[in-house]
């Protein structure tokens, strides 16, 4: 019998997987660059995509699949979208958004069959601190998701 996970249960599983991913440090930032790059593409490549690639590898080892949605695009926002299929659960959509370099947030929504859909009925949003340090980004996601935990 396959148990269907609730959205909150999926967030709990995601939090557990993220804690395990955060247990190791990612590469240190380039100490020659103390400020955010002026070009958002550099931030995406050097920090955001790097973190998500590392997290995808950690999730894969736990039986989950995190994939970058390369078909997603917006004329006003360069941040990416991801699909997460959790082992034993339904899909989640992860969408980064914000106005570079002032804001960055991660919205996690219940996934749908049609990739262009994004649910706001089952949605959590985590505001993240902009930093060139990948560990700061991962820690921000972890701390942000803790507020949505099912258990105390």
Look at residue 58 in the predicted model and tell me its pLDDT.
85
Beta strand ranges found along the chain (DSSP E): 65-68, 81-85, 91-97, 104-110, 123-128
Residue 76 lies in a domain: yes
Cis peptide bond prior to 126, omega within 30° of 0:
no
What are the strands of the beta sheet with 104-110, ordered from one edge? 65-68, 81-85, 91-97, 104-110, 123-128
pLDDT digits (tens, 9 = 90+) for 3-12: 556 888 888 8
Question: Tokens representing 48?
Answer: 């955001």
Average pLDDT score over residue span 35-58: 90
pLDDT digits (tens, 9 = 90+) for 64-117: 999 999 888 766 678 999 999 988 777 888 999 999 999 999 999 886 655 555
Residue 30 lies in a domain: no
Could you tell me the residue range of the domain that residue 85 belongs to?
7-24+42-146
Residue 152 lies in a domain: no
> How many domains does the structure of the chain reveal?
1
Residue 151 lies in a domain: no
CB atoms inside a 10 Å sphere around CB 77: 16
* CB of 89 closer than 8 Å to CB of 64: no
Residue 130 lies in a domain: yes
Question: Dihedrals φ, ψ of 16, to 5°?
Answer: -60, -45
């Amino acid at each position: 019998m396959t148990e269907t996970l609730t959205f909150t249960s999926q967030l709990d599983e995601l939090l557990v997987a993220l804690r395990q991913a955060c247990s190791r440090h990612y590469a240190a930032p380039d100490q020659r660059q103390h400020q955010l790059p002026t070009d958002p593409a550099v931030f995406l490549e050097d920090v955001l995509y790097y973190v998500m690639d590392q997290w995808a590898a950690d999730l894969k080892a736990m039986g989950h699949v995190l994939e970058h949605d390369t078909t997603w695009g917006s004329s006003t926002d360069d941040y990416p979208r991801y699909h997460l299929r959790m082992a034993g659960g339904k899909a989640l959509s992860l969408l980064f958004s914000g106005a570079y370099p002032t804001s960055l947030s991660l919205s996690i929504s219940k996934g749908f069959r049609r990739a262009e859909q994004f649910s706001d009925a089952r949605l959590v949003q985590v505001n993240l601190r902009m930093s060139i340090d990948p560990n700061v980004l991962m820690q921000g996601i972890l701390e942000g998701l803790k507020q949505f935990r099912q258990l105390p």
